[in-house]
């Protein structure tokens, strides 16, 4: 949580081509937990160590991709203040009523210059992490698959990177932790709303509104190996990794859900503080910034988005 009161990415709403194979994948392979379905056919899931009702919402549609991503803020006053800040900047606000998402309070939805829809909200039902809050254990029994601890971040593609970054930093209080620049042009920016090395990231690309990946966090490099083994054992489409990013220093493996939405299983990264010097990368070092071991670009990683 930064000073401005944005806590974290609270949910990603994803389109999938066929609902049940997607649900099976996210439960059996990714290891999320289904918490609800609604009368619009949406399926709600959470990672085990998230206490809030859900962090992923699946909707069947004709094309994959991201409908919107929601950030939880600390309280209603912050929600109202940020909505006012967005409005003052001329950003159109859509009020989504409480209950539109199961177990979730009112949401403030808006579109950023790169074409992506984001939401802010202050309330979501707390359903717990499967262990008591009195004398808990280390992890719940009967986790399946990769079983990340949380939704961690997302990376998106769009044209007006500067406009979106300005909105996140100037209105919502995010900070740029790392960036890549070609000369004076920032081509990628990684932003934190608190202590994580990134909560959201954007890459400058001509097509707006595109999703590169949503990332789930696991606790260790060994968990990344187990995730990669699980991806393989289930014959899930693998993208790349295990490897380490130069940006964030985090360790990672990528795969695709059955509809082609890219998922990252991520760990590591340093703790961000607002007085920590942001890191900058030059475009010629992009291969190392992305994959510090391989130090080569991968066309499929760069070009495939949903």
User: Smallest distance from the beta carbon of 1 to a copy of itself, in angstroms?
Assistant: 6
Residues 49-68 within binding reach of a copy of itself (CB under 8 A): 49, 51-52
CA dihedral for 198, 202, 203, 204, sign (positive or negative): negative
Measured in whole angstroms, how far is the alpha carbon of residue 139 from the centre of its chain? Answer: 23
Range in contact with a copy of itself (rule: CB under 8 A) among 110-118, 163-171, 202-210, 235-243: 235-243
43-46 vs 56-60, strand pairing mode:
antiparallel
- Alpha-carbon torsion, ordered 25, 30, 36, 38, to 10 deg: -50
Tokens found for residue 173: 């209080």
- The pair of three-digit structure tokens given for residue 148, joined into one six-digit string: 């990340």
Q: Is 26 a catalytic residue?
A: no
Closer to a copy of itself by Cβ: residue 110 or 121: 121
- Footprint (CB under 8 A) of a copy of itself, residues 68-87: 72, 74
Indicate the residue among 114 and 251 with the shorter CB distance to a copy of itself: 251
Residue whose pair of structure tokens reads 């009161």 in the numeric block: 5
CB of 228 to a copy of itself, least distance (A): 4
| CA angle in degrees (0–180, nearest 5) for 166-170-172 | 105
Among 39, 90, 92, 135, the residue binding a copy of itself under the rule CB under 8 A is 135
* Binding track over 141-180 against a copy of itself, x by CB under 8 A: x-------xx------------------------------
Asked if 46 and 94 count as a contact pair (C-beta separation under 8 A), the reply is no
The count of C-alpha atoms lying within 13 angstroms of the C-alpha of 176, restricted to the half-sphere facing its C-beta, is 22
> What residues contact residue 50 under an 8 Å CB cut-off, 6+ apart?
129, 149, 150, 151
- Nearer CB in complex with a copy of itself: 158/272: 272
Active-site residue, 293 included: no
All residues at 6 or more sequence positions from 273 whose CB lies less than 8 Å from its CB, including other chains: 195
Closer Cβ to a copy of itself, 74 or 98, answer by number:
74
Distance, in Å, from the CA atom of 92 to the CA atom of 83, rounded to the nearest integer, reads 9
Residue with tokens 């995730």: 227
The one among 137, 183, 184, 206 contacting a copy of itself by CB under 8 A: 137
Query: How many Å apart are CA 262 and CA 259, to the nearest integer?
Result: 9
Name the catalytic one among 11, 101, 153, 212.
Answer: 153
C-alpha 231/C-alpha 102 separation (Å) is 30
Write down the least CB distance from residue 52 to a copy of itself, Å. 8
Whether 213 is catalytic is yes
Binding to a copy of itself in span 250-279, by CB under 8 A? 251, 253, 268, 270-271, 273-279
Nearer Cβ to a copy of itself, position 88 or 142?
Answer: 142
**Which one of 53, 101, 198, 212 is the catalytic residue?**
198
* Positions in the binding site for a copy of itself (CB under 8 A): 1-3, 5, 7-8, 49, 51-52, 72, 74, 126, 128, 133-139, 141, 149-150, 194-196, 219-222, 225, 228-229, 231-233, 238, 240-244, 246, 249, 251, 253, 268, 270-271, 273-282, 285, 288-289, 292-295
């Amino acid at each position: 949580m930064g000073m401005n009161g944005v806590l974290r990415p609270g949910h990603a709403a994803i389109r999938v081509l066929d609902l049940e194979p997607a649900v099976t994948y996210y439960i059996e392979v990714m290891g999320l937990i289904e918490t609800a379905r609604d009368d619009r056919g949406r399926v709600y899931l959470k990672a085990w160590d998230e206490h809030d009702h859900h962090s992923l919402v699946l909707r069947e549609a004709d094309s994959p991709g991201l409908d919107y991503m929601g950030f939880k803020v600390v309280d209603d006053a912050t929600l109202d203040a940020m909505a006012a800040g967005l409005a003052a900047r001329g950003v159109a606000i859509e009020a989504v009523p409480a209950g539109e998402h199961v177990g979730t309070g009112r949401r403030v939805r808006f579109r950023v210059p790169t074409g992506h829809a984001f939401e802010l909200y202050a309330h979501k039902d707390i359903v717990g992490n499967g262990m008591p809050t009195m004398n808990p254990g280390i992890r719940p029994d009967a986790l399946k698959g990769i079983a990340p601890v949380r939704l961690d971040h997302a990376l998106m593609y769009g044209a007006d990177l500067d406009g979106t970054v300005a909105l996140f930093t100037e209105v919502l209080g995010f900070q740029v932790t790392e960036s890549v620049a070609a000369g004076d042009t920032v081509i990628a920016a990684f932003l934190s709303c608190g202590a994580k090395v990134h909560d959201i990231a954007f890459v400058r690309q001509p097509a707006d509104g595109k999703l590169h990946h949503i990332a789930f966090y696991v606790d260790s490099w060994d968990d990344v190996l187990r995730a990669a083994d699980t991806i393989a054992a289930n014959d899930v489409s693998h993208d790349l990794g295990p490897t380490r990013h130069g940006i964030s220093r985090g360790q990672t493996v990528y795969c695709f859900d059955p509809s082609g939405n890219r998922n990252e299983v991520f760990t590591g990264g340093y703790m961000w503080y607002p007085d920590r010097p942001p890191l900058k990368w030059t475009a010629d070092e992009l291969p190392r910034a992305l994959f510090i071991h391989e130090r080569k670009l991968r066309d499929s990683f760069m070009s495939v988005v949903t």
